[in-house]
Amino acid sequence: MDVDLPAILFWAVLACSAIWLIDVLFLRKKRLDDDPEAKDPAPVEYAKSFFPVLLLVLILRSFLAEPYQIPSESMVPTLQVGDFILVNKYAYGLRLPVFGTKVFSVGDPEPGDVMVFIPPHDPRYFIKRVIGVPGDEVRYENKALYINGERLEYDLVGTVGGTRRNPVKEYIETIQGVPHSIYKDARFESTQAWQIPEGRYLMMGDNRDKSQDSRAWGLAYEKDIVGKAVAIWLHKEPGWQWPTFSRNGWLNPEEKEEE
């Protein structure tokens, strides 16, 4: 996501409020003294009209929910390119827009959550699955994850693509009793291990061999969390295709139970 809409909204709200406030405090009285029927100048009129609308949109997007479009294959098969997802902005606490400072704590990311965040190497939003949380010891060996010494459960679904020498297979990976699908191929990958410190998170894509994630650029920071992905609400194939609701649904079992 290249356009930081919350930041644009924040500065637009600030500009409108500043124009309106300056007029009320310093200009309006003199203008009405000179002409009791004088109308507000165009900049002031626009600022008064746009301020409540922009403020409402800013509050909704910054503290409640925000839409996000999946740009890559890194979360296949869970999320497809062209999926539009809804991000719960308050699941992990309320944060100030632009600055990212947490002002109210609600909960913390859990292993298995699908989370939107800003990685340490790129200012754009990324979406990956939470694998390790503060205090965890995580090892990735022979394409399998070990968390605090326990190997995650993997159940083979079948071959979904690739080549004869390097087939891509689908597995059901289970984290803390919650299953999700992943893809992985047969290519060799070096063993990596992490001790997750406070305020950091280990993130991986479900399409393990087509995902640039914590294995490449390190651990995500708590201060850069955007929110929890909770649902797919729209899907659009690339190109001149109409959007559809064919993939609508919750991403997490708990959301399905609450529906």
Catalytic residues: 74, 128
Count Cβ atoms below 10 Å from residue 100 Cβ, excluding itself. 15
Residues 178 and 169: their CA atoms lie apart, in Å, by 20
Reduced to 3 states, what is the DSSP secondary structure of residue 6?
Answer: helix
Query: Cβ neighbours of residue 77 under 8 Å, at least 6 residues apart?
Result: 160, 170, 181, 182, 183, 206, 207
Cα 117 to Cα 75, 126, 134, 224, 230: the distances in Å are: 14, 5, 16, 6, 14
